Structure 1
Amino acid sequence: MVDGDGYVPNNNYREDPNPTKKAKDKKKKKKRGGSKKKMTVEQILAFKSVTEWVYLDQQQNSDSSASDASFVVDDFGVQKSVRRVKEKVVFELHSHSKFSDGYLSPSNLLQRAHENGVKVLALTDHDTMSGITEAMEAAQRFGIKIIPGVEISTIFCPSRESESEEPVHILAYYSSCGPTRFEKLEKVLANIRDGRFLRAKDMVLKLNNLKLPLKWEHVARIAGKGTAPGRLHVARAMVEAGYVENLKQAFTRYLYDGGPAYSMGSEPLAAEAVQLICETGGVAVLAHPWALKNPVPIIRRLKDVGLHGMEVYRSDGRLEVYSDLADAYGLLKLGGSDYHGRGGHGESELGSVNLPVLVLHDFLKVARPIWCHSIRDILEHYANEPSESNLAKITRFGRTRFFKGFSTLSCATDFVERCLSLWLTFEERQNADYETLKLKLADLSIDMSKTNVTIENI
């Protein structure tokens, strides 16, 4: 079962019949993680490429920083530096904030990420990108790079029979300036969110009919103003009202797929969501496939329409069966903590998933050309039609940092060069398309009084 609201019960987990063996295995794993060995040439080159991109907007030179440290990897292939702590590059590719069903604000989430040594964080709230701007602003304080993301709730239907429908979540990763055709994506996300309100109200009604007098106001208060409520919010209200002992009990008794209080939303088909992500300049990744009842036909179908990768790494290591599936279908192998900030032993910590440097390099090798193309499309749209609305699309997620150091009236060419230096490597900027763009913008200027950026922010 995949919960549409961030709670992902793992049906593969069973009570360990041999706790002594478990303790020994844990000790062995700890010992194994402690061993170090020198990076191979392939790993060093991959690491230099990854760090160049990670520290791009901090204007750090990857060659000089790389030469100042000796590199090692642990037994899992995760990169570390012998002398410079900051050289360990931790990617967190699956996290949630209060803008969907997380417990922390984007700012507090970034602070937590910083405390845990995260260098790159994808904020992937359910069916909304509303928290990205706050995350971008907080990231500047902590020196963290943000990948604007979203986790889209979808349905996979192998046939026309509704009984065979299965909820599927697709992660979308975008460039720093966000999706192209943002309005088209937002329309789909807004429709999902509207459906979540109706769905949550229907679940409350079903619980009332089951003699559990849960109040809608209680669920809405937990979700927070402007947040589309989901099953997790209903479950939390049930726990607070004393109808169940914990979240797991709420799901296993009432809210599971097809359960007595379960209700369908208005999610798009999974294949349509993957196609939409590809059309809007994103990288599409299947979330937590281990929670699916029958992942193979889903993976096969989604690969056919453009799926780029799937999660196979968790905080407890790589799941080999899903790693093999990714290999079989030529998909990227990724992963993240799916952090919500609930606390307790049942949740992985932010930044706890160790992604090997070669995995990160493979991800960026696929993502960066897609993002470069997306950035070019957004800038080209502004060059062809230099309106305020098209300028807003460029600066949607990070106005203040783009205009830092600029005077009240700024040359559009300088502005675009500033954007490109934050987003793209030197090699990526040496592109005929970008040179043509700069020529188009040479005679344009930007009136900052019309950009909603105050002088105090500059």
Structure 2
Amino acid sequence: MAGEGRGRKTRKKGSKKKGTPDHALAAKYIKDWAFRSDSSAGEFLPWRDEKMLFEFHCHSNRSDGFLSPKAVVERAHRNGVKILALTDHDTMEGVSEASAAARKLGIRLIPGVEISCIFTHSSGAEESVHLLAYYSSYGPSPHEELGKTLSTIREGRYLRARDMLKKLSNLKMPIEWDHLAKIAGDGVAPGRLHVARAMVEASYVGDLKQAFSSYLYDGGPAYSTGSEPPAEEVVKLVCRTGGISALAHPWSLKNSVPVIRSLASSGLHAMEVYRWDGKMTVFGDLADSLGLLKIGGSDYHGRKTQVESDLGSINLPIMAMVGFLRLARPRWFEAIQETIRSFVEDPSITKLERLWGFGDEKYKAKMAMLSPNEAIKLSLNSWLSPEELDSPEIRDLSQKLQSVIIREDA
């Protein structure tokens, strides 16, 4: 989706003036959380300079982006991003690869996802809504609930894509399914951007912008709906599974105020409002009035044929990051406890693997060589503060872990 400030390539530094007490305390708060290593000694990852760039919204080729998750992280690192959330559409499949790359480069990766939803107005009119969800390194808890929802949405995307191709064929613009699937990539549910790319390659349109503006826009002649759940229910789902929910690009909504008010009453935590220049869109005052956190992200896809905001180009103030973490960390802490508790109560191999969160195969192999207690302590060290690690809840769970016997899955 297009956002405000598109076409700007210049990357800005943090907008908060440096050298002030508030800035120093904010920087320390962020560093103390974001740059802990996963070593048992509690070491900190290197902090090479004082720039504070955060990226809350970007995509890889696991959905409709052009770059691999690893390449997204590498580009973010080159741009000076310190904290990065990968938010592919309706999937978290790219998070493990991104996490591995982030650990090597000293970037803190927040596992995220952009969830496709539908909002129904009081008039009965429907419009597409995208919600961002941010989780701890252990992911949602329980894992199954969000996973089933995302799977249903992805299945609906396949049906939706076939319907769009049927409509394009009726418009004398036939596209073969195999060609669309090749553009999307193995295991990736095709989206509108993939259809747009196919239209460009077939020379039906001059560029992606024309594909959307003439055919694929909401309600357009080649538009089709999928199996998106109600937006209010998704907000509640994210809350239930230990995540932080945020409304993506509210400026793209046709009738934004009723949507935002309804989602806020359902438990929405945040909304994108910051632009590339650090200024807020017109939604800043509404966010304040509803008690929503104000965040922002580039919505980077790595498009080669269209200028877009680059990773880290949204000038998010450091205090916005502090506000986000102060809300998120207690929720993530509770979700992490729930994941460990679930394993203690039913110590199966499947649940053991979930304790490694979004680690890649190499990381999981490293953890598998340790006892559950040692491995959990090691992985928690990179995500929790010393105070959280020493909390009665974690100490109690650690004690219980010492006596667990892992069983084979049925």
Instruction: Give the TM-score normalised by structure 2.
Output: 0.92
**Deviation at 1:326?**
0.8
Partner residue of 1:39?
19
**Aligned-partner residue type, residue 159 of structure 1:** S
Task: Give matches, 1:237-252, under 5 Å.
Answer: 237-252=198-213
* 1:141 and 2:110 are equivalent in the alignment: no
Q: 1:382 aligns with which of 328, 343, 354?
A: 343
Q: 1:437 aligns with which of 382, 385, 397?
A: 397
Matched position secondary structure for 1:91: strand
Call closer, same or farther: CA 1:57–1:234 in 2, change over 3 Å. Answer: same
Matched position secondary structure for 1:94: coil
* 1:418 and 2:381 are equivalent in the alignment: no
**Deviation at 1:295?**
1.3
Show CA shifts across 1:306-348 (max 9, x none): 1000001132433341111110100000011101000456300
Task: Give matches, 1:47-446, under 5 Å.
Answer: 47-57=27-37, 59-60=42-43, 85-159=48-122, 161=124, 164-343=125-304, 346-398=307-359, 400-401=362-363, 404=366, 408=369, 410-444=370-404
Show CA shifts across 1:122-156 (max 9, x none): 11000001111111111122111111110000000
Does the aligned pair in 2 maintain the 1:310–1:331 contact within 8 Å? yes
Matched position secondary structure for 1:56: coil
Matched position secondary structure for 2:232: helix
Call closer, same or farther: CA 1:205–1:445 in 2, change over 3 Å. Answer: same
Partner residue of 1:22?
none
**Aligned-partner residue type, residue 179 of structure 2:** H
2: distance between equivalents of 1:191 and 1:165?
19
Call closer, same or farther: CA 1:263–1:383 in 2, change over 3 Å. Answer: same
Does the aligned pair in 2 maintain the 1:103–1:342 contact within 8 Å? yes
Call closer, same or farther: CA 1:36–1:182 in 2, change over 3 Å. Answer: closer
**Deviation at 1:366?**
0.2
1: distance between equivalents of 2:155 and 2:56?
26
Instruction: Give RMSD over aligned pairs.
Output: 2.7
**Deviation at 1:170?**
0.2
Does the aligned pair in 1 maintain the 2:207–2:305 contact within 8 Å? no
Does the aligned pair in 2 maintain the 1:179–1:282 contact within 8 Å? yes
Does the aligned pair in 2 maintain the 1:121–1:146 contact within 8 Å? yes
2: distance between equivalents of 1:230 and 1:378?
32
2: distance between equivalents of 1:336 and 1:129?
18
Does the aligned pair in 2 maintain the 1:402–1:419 contact within 8 Å? no
1: distance between equivalents of 2:316 and 2:405?
43
Matched position secondary structure for 2:283: helix
Q: Which runs of 5+ in 2 are unaligned?
A: none
2: distance between equivalents of 1:35 and 1:385?
48
2: distance between equivalents of 1:56 and 1:34?
22
Equivalenced residue count is 404
1: distance between equivalents of 2:298 and 2:317?
15
Larger Rg: 1
Does the aligned pair in 2 maintain the 1:395–1:402 contact within 8 Å? yes
Instruction: Give the TM-score normalised by structure 1.
Output: 0.82
Call closer, same or farther: CA 1:388–1:284 in 2, change over 3 Å. Answer: same
**Aligned-partner residue type, residue 438 of structure 1:** S
**Deviation at 1:441?**
1.4
Does the aligned pair in 2 maintain the 1:312–1:335 contact within 8 Å? yes
2: distance between equivalents of 1:171 and 1:407?
32
**Deviation at 1:384?**
1.7
Does the aligned pair in 1 maintain the 2:14–2:316 contact within 8 Å? no
**Aligned-partner residue type, residue 292 of structure 1:** L
Show CA shifts across 1:37-75 (max 9, x none): 54332222111001111111264459xx9xxxxxxxxxx
Does the aligned pair in 2 maintain the 1:124–1:148 contact within 8 Å? yes
Show CA shifts across 1:262-296 (max 9, x none): 11111000001101101111000000011111211
**Aligned-partner residue type, residue 325 of structure 1:** L
